[in-house]
A = this chain, B = another copy of it.
Amino acid sequence: MIPTNSTITALRREFETELFEHVIPFWEKHSWDRVNGGFWNCLDRSGNVFDNTKYGWLQGRETWLFSKLYRTVEQKPVWLEMARSGAEFLKNRALMSDDRLPFRMTSDGKPVYVQRKIFSECFYVMAMAEYARASGDESYAREAQRMFEKVWEWAFDWRKVGRPSFEGETSLQSLAVPMILMNLIEELTDGLGEPFGRELADCQKAFLKHVNVPEKRVYEFVRPDGSLCTDIPEGRQLNPGHAIEAGWFLQHWAQRQKNSDLSLLAQNVVRWSHAEGWDKEKGGLFYFLDAQGHSPVQLEWNMKLWWPHCEALYAHLLNYSLTRSAEDWDLFHTTKEYTFKHFPDRTYGEWYGYLDRDGRVSQTFKGGPYKCAFHVPRALLLCWNTLKKLESEK
């Protein structure tokens, strides 16, 4: 069913209230570390710090968020102050002398653990780029550019930061790498893409190897030539929420490039992944599935996590804004009903992150090693902007 004007307006208001009254205030109130700079990441249900460890991914993501809010929503001084605090903490305290950003660190930025992956540094680039625009401080734009070059080099010569390779290893390409780089170029260039046309084309090409059109599936890992490797669980691994997120990353580029074939593919990536990942019995998106129906080896495979639902909210709404089809609206509506019923905590604000298969809260914390002010507010912001656009176009 296609929504009426008043449905769109009511939803726009609901997303606005959720974002600016229930979600952002939680992080403003509880996550800013005014002593060391940066953000407390491990916050319990009511916002108390249960662990003062900080996480590199999350410092970057929250810096990005408050920069983005300041620049694109409202010039609230506290948002710029929080963004500056995060950006300075990242650049001056957390970054190591070899340009690695720790995955875990102490509250004052001393490294605890460095991942053999590039994601901490990717979120560092996002933070630097958006903070540079928010603050007008060009030195952060240069820092974003400098680190992007490192990340690009590491992404294609994994030996410099990755695990050692062994003789028996199956060479597989991870969806996460081209996907994050595609989003990173969007963030670095504020959606323009220039001067990274070649890099973007490389990412899109690598990304498309994961999309199996005949099977209507996105595989998390494929061989470098794009062929399937279904004799090991990694090669059969499906992560519907991840594919849905990748779908809207791709759609943003398809729109800018006015590439209708790519746009249709990106739409389908979202629809197929939802169809495969939705739990028809209990509702919600599964976390992991096996393409051949084997019992997934991930213990948490059937849990319902906040972020796949956040990504699906925006991905379906974006599809609807392009197609105006009842099918896409129904997917958005189904996702929105499940998500708003199960995840928000109406007592203390923000959303729970982890539900069991039945939709019961499994962990009560609001911030943890992988959850901060990012997926919930980003999805709400993107949906709010899209709903405003739909409102104005009606």
Contact = CB atoms under 8 A, between A and B. Distances in A.
A112 B169 contact: yes
A363 B357 CA distance: 13
Interface stretch (A13-21, A49-57, A78-86, A251-259): A49-57
| Copies held by the complex | 2
A357 B52 CA distance: 29
B232 A53 contact: yes
A166 B363 contact: no
Interface residues of A, number: 45
Interface in A94-114: 102, 104-106, 109-114
A362 B356 CA distance: 11
A51 B169 CA distance: 14
A113 B231 CA distance: 17
Interface stretch (A136-144, A289-297, A313-321, A378-386): A289-297
Nearest to A166: B111
Contact of A299 (B109, B163, B299): B299
B368 A297 contact: yes
A94 to B, nearest CB: 10
A344 interface: no
A110 B295 CA distance: 26
A112 B168 CA distance: 5
Contact of A102 (B51, B166, B299, B357): B166
Taking chain A's interface residues, is the majority helix, strand, or loop, or is none over half, making it mixed?
A: loop
Contacts of A294: 44, 50, 365
A109 B168 CA distance: 8
Contacts of A357: 356
Nearest to A363: B295
A354 B109 CA distance: 38
Interface in A159-185: 163-164, 166-170
Given A296-B363, A299-B303, A299-B354, A111 B368 contact: no
Nearest to A168: B110
Interface of A: 42, 44-45, 50-53, 102, 104-106, 109-114, 163-164, 166-170, 231-233, 294-297, 299-303, 354, 356-357, 362-365, 368-369
